[in-house]
Amino acid sequence: MKEKVKETARLGDKSSAFDGRVLLGLDTLGLNPVSQRHVAAGSRAGVWLIGCEIEDETARYCRECGAMGRVRSSRRRRLAHTPVGQHAVHLLVRVRRYECAACARSWTDDLTRIADRGRRLTNAAVWWAAAEAALKSKSVSACAHDLHCSWGALNRAVLEKGAGVLAADPRRLDDVESIGVDEHVWRHARTGGRYVTVIVDLTPRRHGRPARLLDMVEGRSEKAFARWLAERPRSFRDRVKEVAMDGFAGYKRAAARQVPRAVEILDPFHVVRLAGDRLTAVRCRLQREATGRRGRRDDPLYKGRRILLRTAGLRTDRQQARVDMLLADPANRPLALAHGVYQRIIDCYAQGDRGKGRGMMAELIESLAVRGAAPGCPEIAALGRTLKRRMADVLAFFDHPHGANGPTEAINGRLETLRGVALGFRSLGNYIVRSLLHTGGFRQAIQAHL
């Protein structure tokens, strides 16, 4: 298709207050713009083609003998640059090949300051795309459209910067004292691995800053988490003081083996959810015993399934009346017991005084651990044994104000959004790097390269 030339002019006019070199950032790249033209590009706004010359007086001198070489030939190298408004910008850089008459050596202009070897994008364009993807949740496909380049070339460049420059920085592990661990579904497929273990730095929460993703490893087992901890430096493991986790015993065993000095904290969300699951199990059992089938729309127990799990203080009068009617039925006595335990656990965590909440939780766990404390309710008896076994981890939350694993769950939610924006991932390695760019706390590091 014949290119449609819209405008031709000179850039960098010193007599004008507007300097295109500064607008495009060419002054920092050591490039001197000599021409420009605008080319229509189908449905997009268009592409500015900027002809550039390299400003390097020392490039003509031979590195072996120091003699001045002559220009033997030259070629134009096209590099995608940061866009301006709705228009893509491509640099047509003239690359000269020099020849030394004294020592017969030849060389070309060095473009490593402008772009990495083999890349068709300037470093500025790659960091711009990384910033758009990490800070604005923009897809790489949309960034490639704005830069008017291929998705593959841009994706490889962004992943290389993310993995080689940001994620590989050993200083990322400095000052990490509190970590959270949880499982995460990185893809929904019938075959292959679906789960990863997410490790989050919770230390910034002490200073009012958001938590950040440290790493992700394949699998959701004790072995996966223990291997990740074992691969970290001894100084890092000795510095970790808190490990927040869910009720999975594998994470507890891995933390106890690799970071024995750290306090293991069972997250309140998972404690409340565990009690809620037991409450639901009691309701389902009573439903089957009364009707011989699962609940249906008009069954009172089924209609109250969501209201029973709602905090008592957040219910409306009508909802509370329905709950009172269910719990007043003598046939639902086990349900009343399970509901009372569930609400007491919520009240323990809702206490403004952490010391009081800790005492209430300890008293509740001890009462549930007594044999015969839950007559006719084996589900609550099992809950009492579980809480008794993890009592130290449950109570540790009240002694460590910033030990909740809530930020880890929040990062999991952000990763779900990332996967939706990208319409899924096939490669786990690519997903890990993109996740680190998205939630790894690299905002300042990326902005420093812009």
Asked if residue 15 has pLDDT above 50, the reply is no
Task: Provide CATH code, domain 170-267+404-449.
Answer: 3.30.420
- pTM for this structure? 0.82
362 vs 86: CA distance, rounded Å: 61
Q: What is the pLDDT of residue 43?
A: 60
| Residue 40 three-state SS | strand
Tokens 């819209």, located at residue: 6
- Decide: 103 and 62 in contact? Cβ < 8 Å: yes
115 vs 119: CA distance, rounded Å: 6
pLDDT in tens, 375-395: 889 999 999 999 999 999 999
- Decide: 155 and 433 in contact? Cβ < 8 Å: no
- Decide: 131 and 446 in contact? Cβ < 8 Å: yes
Supply the DSSP string of 339-391, one letter for each residue. Answer: HHHHHHHHHHHH-SSHHHHHHHHHHHHHHHHSTTSSTT-HHHHHHHHHHHHTH
Taking residues 319-335, report their average pLDDT.
Answer: 94
Q: What is the pLDDT of residue 207?
A: 87
Supply the DSSP string of 222-254, one letter for each residue. Answer: HHHHHHHHHHS-HHHHHH--EEEE-S-HHHHHH
Per domain, the residue ranges of the chain are 5-114, 170-267+404-449, 268-399
Q: How far is CA 347 from the centre of its chain?
A: 32
pLDDT in tens, 35-64: 999 988 766 778 999 999 998 888 888 888
Q: How confident is the model at residue 443 (pLDDT cuts 50, 70, 90)?
A: confident
Asked if residue 427 has pLDDT above 50, the reply is yes
Q: What is the pLDDT of residue 18?
A: 55
Q: What is the mean pLDDT of the chain?
A: 90
- What are the phi and psi torsion angles at 386 (to 5°)? -65, -45
pLDDT in tens, 268-299: 999 999 999 999 999 999 999 999 999 998 99
Q: What is the pLDDT of residue 445?
A: 85
Q: What percent of the chain has pLDDT over 90?
A: 66
- Decide: 96 and 71 in contact? Cβ < 8 Å: yes
Asked if residue 14 has pLDDT above 60, the reply is no
Least confident of 33-47, 143-157, 432-446: 33-47
Asked if residue 3 has pLDDT above 80, the reply is no
Those residues with Cβ within 8 angstroms of residue 275's Cβ, 6 or more apart along the chain or in another chain:
341, 342, 345, 383
Q: How confident is the model at residue 118 (pLDDT cuts 50, 70, 90)?
A: confident
| Residue 198 three-state SS | strand
